Amino acid sequence: MLNNEPTLDQIDDYNGNESKEKKRTVKLVIAGILILGALYAMLKLNFNNVEEYVGTPEKPGINTAKDY
Could you tell me if residue 5 is left (phi over 0), alpha (psi between -120 and 50 degrees) or otherwise beta? beta
List, for residues 9-65, the tens digit of each pLDDT value: 778 777 777 888 988 999 999 999 999 999 999 998 888 776 666 677 777 776 665
Phi, psi of 53 (to 5 degrees): -110, 130
Q: What share of the chain is helix, strand, coil (3-state, %, to 5)?
A: 45, 5, 50
Rounded CA separation 48/64 (Å):
15
pTM of the model: 0.56
pLDDT tens string 2-16? 778 888 777 877 777
Q: Report the 10 Å Cβ neighbour count for 7.
A: 8
